[in-house]
Every structure is written in C-alpha cells, then in structure tokens.
Structure 1
C-alpha cells in the first residue's frame, strides 16, 4: 500500500539501521513502490561482539536484506569519518532507525554516545540540506507513566529510554530555533512482524510464543498475563507512520501505536486459535516486579492530527499476516 503522495521516485533516501527490523522493512517498502529512488542502507551489521549482558552489539543481519538491490554502507555511527562520507551522497530524506535498543544494557556511556551524540550529526545534515529527518524514538521514554502514555509525560526507567528522551529534547530545541525544519520523532510501542527474528531474545512475544506452540510446547507466560497489557503495533502501521512523517502536517514527537492495549494472554490465545492448537498456558512467576510495565497504551490523537496516521491492522489481523513467516522461520531457522 502506498501511504503518501510524496514524490520519492528520483530521490536519494538514507535508511540507518537498514539491516535491522524496521529499517529493512522500510528499505523494501521504497524498493517495491518507488523503483526509481536511490536507497542507501547504513548498518553496522552483526559480528561476535557482545555487551556485558551477553547480548549482541548489533542486530543487523544480511538475511533481512536478501532481495534488496540498493546500496549498502557498512559503518559504525561512532566512526568520526562517517559524516563527511554521508554528506557526499546529497540525500533528500533521512530515516534514522539505527540505535542500541537493548533495554537491559546498562553501559550508559556507549548508549548515550551511540544514540544521542551521533543524532546531532543527523540533525545538522538535515538542516544543512533542508531535508526531512524521521527518526526512531521509543515508548520506553514513558517508563511506568500512567496510561494512556502522552507526549510530555515521560518517566524512563532505563538508559535506553533516557537516551531517546534526550533525542526528543534535542529535536524540540532544534524546532524552536528552526521552526520550518521537518524533523519527526516516532515513539514506537510494541512492534511485531516480519524481519524481527534476528533480534534474538528481544523479538516480540508474538514470534516467541508462535515458535513455542509450533514446537508442540505449552506457551509460557507470567502469572496474571491476562491483565498485563501492551500496545502491540504491526510493522505495516509503523511503515505507514514513517512515510507520513516524511511530509508531516506538523513536525514534532508522536506516538506510534494502536491506542488499544491487548494482553499477552490474548496473543497466546489468538496464536493457538489460528494454529489450531489447544495447549493451554503455563504460568511462571514474574521476576521483574517493581521494574515492569503492566500497561502501555499510546495516546495517538496527536499522531492522527499531526501526521495523518491511522493504525489499520488489528492484533488478530497482524498475527494472521505474520503467521506464514513465523512458520517458515520455525522450519528454516529454529528446527535446523
């Protein structure tokens, strides 16, 4: 589906984090709908380096880009030589999805250097060329703030959420000084859908529970999961928000969710219904009491007004669309 009348054909588009989940979906959206656009994917890609918590430093994976025909630039955002190279491309749009997104990584220095400090360069590049900059903020900026979560009422509980909030503050400051700039931060809530498999342990519960059920196992959930609710947003609606943010009615910070929280229990039940199984549910104690979000629900009224964004995919429909890939991954990546 084409989400905008913006003339992307003939333009040069930068997608950072383009070998990751959301970035790769964006890359294929442009390739499919705007064949005359020049698409440049920037990603660090994964290697064997891990953080102290054992998680990979980069989730970018070449398999997310199989079939991509644009240009790939493998680089680290913290490389000081990168910025002059980027200036040489003459970009018309920037979609900045790259970040350290691991909420359990507590190295504050590398998180803030990578997410916040390098963001300033993208702002400078967008201002220099007078082009739109759309970037990934996060629902993690809200922490345990009361639902519905509304821009301006943030309480991040980890350094990742803090780094994104500081990016948003930098955006607001920039827009005060340059009110005609097109800069939009998108606070993603719980995104799920194709090309998230290589996020490993941080992939959505839709994928993880789907693979448990396909393995013939009873899905495991925390006790009380019928009351633990999240705003689950399908990847197609996230792409819609990005495309509309490239030509916003009003620059600023916006939530990207459905505005309708659903429970983890509902995910397990929908998956079993669509897969034709009836394994019930195994409940385990929640070890994260005290630092756990029991309810996330996006206030999307400003997003509807400022971006023209309207979520279109229900949880039931999103799981139905996603199941073919969940099954394929189970056969080709999980069982092998």
Structure 2
C-alpha cells in the first residue's frame, strides 16, 4: 500500500493513464504530479483529484516543489520523448540530469523509484528474435543514448544506496491520451487519423516491418507492478508479439468497418528499427505480469474509444 505517490510527467501519455489508474486502485493515497507541460495536456487529467504542479525536474525547483511531500514511491516518466531532437546537450540535461535529481529526492525520502526506460536502447536489431533485457545495447540516437545512460545511473545509484530502483523498458505503447503528441503519437493513432479522414494509410515499403505494440493499459499495469519488484532491475514492457504494419492496417480496417489498401513509400530515415519484439519472460516470472491485450483487441478498444462508442 502506497500512502504518498509522486508521478513526474503525470500529464503526459503514459503518466496520465498511470495517475488515473493509481487513483482508482489506491483511493486513500495522496498523488502528486509534477509536469512542465512542454509535451503534455491538462485534458489528459480530467477526473484527477490530486495535486498538479508545473515543474521541470531537471532544475533545482523540484526539491522545493515537494519539500512537504514524502513519497513512498516515485514513478518517473518525465523526459524528452521526441526522438528527432538532435540537440545533445538539451536531451542529456533534461533526461539524465532530471533523473539524477529524482534519484536524489528518492534518497532523501527513502522512496522506491520506477522509471521509464526504452526499447530504443537495443538499437537496430538484425536478428528477428525476442529481445532479452541483458542483451548488448546499441543506442542509435541521443534519445536512446539518454535512456541507456539512465539505466547505468540507476544501477550505480541502487548499488551505492540500496534504494530499490526499477526500470520499465517500454516498447511501442499506444492508446488513449496520446493525441496531444501530434506527429509523435503512435503509428496506430496516425494511421487511424488517415483512415478516418478517408485517406489510404501510408506506410514504408512494403509494410512487413514488425513492431512490438503494447496497449497503454497493459503498460500501466506493468509499471504499477514494477514497484513491487524483489530488487533493483529492469523489465521489458511489451506485448511479447511482433506485428507487421500491414496487419495493423488490417485490424484498423476491421475496427472501423473500412477496406483501405495501404499506400507504400520509401523510408526516409538512415536509422530505422525494422523489427522489435520483447522477451517478456523476466517480468512474467518475477512479477506474474501477462499482457491482457492482443494487438487486435487493443486496436478495437482504442478505436471504440476514439469513435465514442465506449468510455475510457
């Protein structure tokens, strides 16, 4: 049971879904959200009953904003998630320095820390096999590098202080409350918007690239469970399945009642992950986590929410 819960980045995509789920699961707990609103939207927190402060956790103001709040657990989701940012100093300062501040806060309050890592740390994997947490890392851009360094920092800090620090290595998360991300929202949402407007969905040639898409409700469940990990570690958070872009369009067609054919075009990127699939063995064995949503079920529920057929 958590009495005081701190969520950084709590007005963002995963953070807001997490805040509302925790509010429901722990109705007697106090939940405090810190978010600088640089890539978030207050509308994501409709129905949230806790406190929200505007705060950039990479600055010293974070220590003053929560000086009277003693968190039992910190869910650290605040970071620059735009993978196209090339300003290395900016990315590292916001992500890595911000995480260091959060760890110092945790040390002062003896808090458990659960933080957002990323499957991007694995790099461009050639062999099509599920990715295990302990495989070699090969970050290909500064965003992935910042997450890789955060993983290293977490391990070092945990060994030095005996704090429990647990990383959740998210794969391709999609679902409600991501619309504010615009062009950085999930591919599933982008394709939905194209098809909803009557356009053929555009994907890179020839649509056989595969991704591990995980529905945000599953990602949130795994994140909450991670706070109960037996020790400091990192867990993959995916569906455990690799789904082709062509199949995503097929499932969107089924959910929308449409029959669009894909429009293929050349990939413009030098670096592009052709294949991702999470090995979910570790989180299943240690925490008992099994995703509830297949890609087909997740897309159907998501489209039903977007279309107003069901409530979130």
TM-score strictly above 0.5 = yes
**Moved >3 Å (runs of 4+):** none
> 1:52 is matched with which residue?
none
> 1:150 is matched with which residue?
132
Mapping of residues 54-133 of structure 1, within 5 Å = 58-133=38-113
Larger CA deviation: 104-113 vs 119-128: 119-128
1:296 aligns with 2:279: no
> 2:24 is matched with which residue?
32
Q: 1:210-249, CA deviations, whole angstroms, 9 ceiling, x for partnerless residues?
A: 1111111111111111x20000000111111111111112
Aligned partners of 1:109, 1:243: CA distance in 2, in Å?
31
> 2:205 is matched with which residue?
223
Aligned partners of 1:206, 1:308: CA distance in 2, in Å?
28
Q: Displacement of 1:175 after TM fit?
A: 2.5
Q: Displacement of 1:187 after TM fit?
A: 0.6
> 1:266 is matched with which residue?
247
> 2:187 is matched with which residue?
205
> 2:36 is matched with which residue?
44
Q: 1:250-300, CA deviations, whole angstroms, 9 ceiling, x for partnerless residues?
A: 321111011210011111111101211112121111112x41110011121
Mapping of residues 234-313 of structure 1, within 5 Å = 234-288=215-269, 290-313=270-293
> 2:174 is matched with which residue?
192
Give the conservation status (yes or no) of the 8 Å contact 1:211–1:326: no
SS at match of 2:150: helix
Larger CA deviation: 272-281 vs 100-109: 272-281
Q: Displacement of 1:172 after TM fit?
A: 1.2
Give the conservation status (yes or no) of the 8 Å contact 1:99–1:114: yes
Distance 1:130 1:32, change over 3 A: same
Superposed CA RMSD in Å reads: 1.5
Give the conservation status (yes or no) of the 8 Å contact 1:207–1:326: no
Q: 1:300-332, CA deviations, whole angstroms, 9 ceiling, x for partnerless residues?
A: 112222333221210011011111232249xxx
Aligned partners of 1:241, 1:173: CA distance in 2, in Å?
23
Aligned partners of 1:81, 1:193: CA distance in 2, in Å?
32
**What stretches of structure 1 of length at least 5 have no aligned partner?**
1-6, 46-57, 330-336
TM-score between both structures, scaled by the size of structure 2: 0.94
Equivalent pairs, count: 306
> 2:196 is matched with which residue?
214
Distance 1:280 1:274, change over 3 A: same
Aligned partners of 1:301, 1:178: CA distance in 2, in Å?
28
